[in-house]
Amino acid sequence: MGRARRRQSTLEKIHKLWSSEDEIDRTYADLLAIAIDTRISMGLTQSQLAKETGIAVSMISKIENGGSIPSVKIFLKYLNGLNLHWSFAYKKSDK
């Protein structure tokens, strides 16, 4: 499978998450899209990110292509390797 075809497949999987009625799926899709775009814009390969984070290249590939939803700890390592940081905000209920 060519690089462009793999990228298209990844975008389709992210779009499917964005289209979900589940707010968690949509939020994860947003985070994933930002992370992938950041890695690419930084010019980092998955191999380089793996060396930086200690995450296996195969796991990074699975995260990015939607083949695996990582633990919070692994996802935070992934984000930290891209100098992206997670923050929490209190969400008021609409009720």
Domain 3-81 maps to which CATH number in 2.30.29, 1.10.1160, 1.10.10, 1.10.260? 1.10.260
For the chain, how many helices (H) and strands (E)?
A: 5, 0
Per-residue pLDDT of 20-67, as tens digits, reads 677 887 788 888 888 888 998 999 999 999 999 999 999 999 988 888
Residue 51 to residue 37: CA distance in whole angstroms: 19
Q: Is the pTM of this model over 0.85?
A: no
Classify residue 67 by its DSSP letter. S
Sequence spans of domains, the chain: 3-81
